[in-house]
């Protein structure tokens, strides 16, 4: 088993970002946040005016890839569907506070406990 620090986490958005050409971008990568990622946005006037905007700036800084987009900026994050924004917020929290993308769940039928990877799988389902 490798002890290398994992710093990038691939994900699949539930709905996906739809660009101006109508292309849907669902596959992406989020990296671990640095102290600078968390501190720099605190002085941004948009965060001072609306503290909820911190989420947009954190995701802009840590989502390094989304589909075939050349970059992920505030416009892209602001244009995400609410379910995708919530998904990325949860992913950010999980990888930066817990260090993984797994969630513990229980089968409602039999009660068996198991883990699922909330980032999605390689087939594009989430």
Q: Mean pLDDT in runs of 10 for the chain (126 residues)? A: 79 97 97 95 94 96 97 97 97 84 72 67 41
Is the torsion defined by CA of 88, 40, 66, 31 positive or negative? negative
User: What is the distance between the alpha carbons of residues 89 and 9, in angstroms, rounded to a whole number?
Assistant: 13
Cα–Cα distance measured from residue 83 to residue 100, given in angstroms and rounded to the nearest whole number: 20
Separation of CA 108 from chain center = 27
| Whether the model pTM is above 0.85 | no
Paired tokens of 114: 């198991």
- Predicted local confidence at residue 116, as pLDDT: 65
């Amino acid at each position: 088993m490798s002890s290398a620090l994992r710093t990038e986490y691939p994900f699949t958005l539930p709905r996906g970002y739809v660009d101006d050409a109508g292309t849907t971008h669902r596959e992406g990568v989020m990296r671990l946040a640095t102290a600078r990622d968390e501190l720099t946005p605190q002085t941004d006037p948009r965060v001072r005016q609306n503290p909820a905007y911190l989420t947009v700036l954190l995701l802009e800084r840590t989502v390094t890839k989304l589909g075939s987009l050349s970059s992920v900026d505030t416009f892209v994050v602001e244009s995400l569907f609410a379910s995708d924004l919530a998904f990325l917020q949860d992913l950010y929290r999980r990888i930066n506070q817990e260090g993984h993308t797994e969630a513990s769940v229980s089968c409602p039928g039999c009660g068996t406990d198991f883990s699922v990877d909330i980032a999605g799988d390689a087939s594009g389902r989430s």
